[in-house]
Amino acid sequence: MIVAPTPPNEEERLGALRGFDILDTPAEKAFDDLVRLALYICETPIAAVSFVDKDRQWFKSKVGWGVPETKRDISFCAHAITLPNETLIVPDASLDARFSDNPLVTGEPKIRFYAGAPLVTEDGYVLGTLCVIDHVPKELTAAQTKALEVLRNQVMRELELHRKNLELAEANKKLEQARLDLSEEDTRH
């Protein structure tokens, strides 16, 4: 097994990931729907929105796999984040030197096929992937690969919306506090 290299901008990338305040958050229908759509389009039993943190890969949304996270050093997505401009496609992981003895290949979930479209911020930081996985070797058609990339773009829009909603909630809290402070000041005068 070959462990993925650490991106040269790792600290900044992790800062960008933390800036979305998405890690360890509950499931959200919008992400779940996009994962299901990726699974259907690519005709795979497993699909996920995966974020690559410092030492782990955490799944915001997943179908077909019961674990909430894996170690980063065995993560296929850790390899995909090193290729921000392309979808990483592994037709048969058992024949790929990077993955052939990976515990996710030799054990459960017995990954054979993997495709991961990087989730890239406007600033160029790769946060994770929208990925699809199968237990048998396979290839995606050009249309399936393009559809996975289109869905990846939608995942990024949902992620931006998530961040904007958090910012809006924080602004509303500050506005409400300011209103309360003004109200108290009025009652003192």
36 neighbors 133 (Cβ within 8 angstroms):
no
Average pLDDT over residues 112-118: 98
Has residue 149 got a pLDDT over 90?
yes
pTM value is: 0.89
Average pLDDT over residues 174-178: 82
Has residue 189 got a pLDDT over 80?
no
Over the stretch 16-36, which tens digit does the pLDDT of each residue have?
Answer: 999 999 999 999 999 999 999
List 134's β-bridge partners, or say none.
113
Sign of the alpha-carbon torsion through 171, 174, 176, 179: negative
Give me the pLDDT at residue 79, please.
97
Give me the pLDDT at residue 180, please.
80
Has residue 175 got a pLDDT over 90?
no
95 — pLDDT class (breaks 50, 70, 90): very high
94 neighbors 138 (Cβ within 8 angstroms):
no
Domains with residue ranges and CATH for the chain: 10-188 (3.30.450.40)
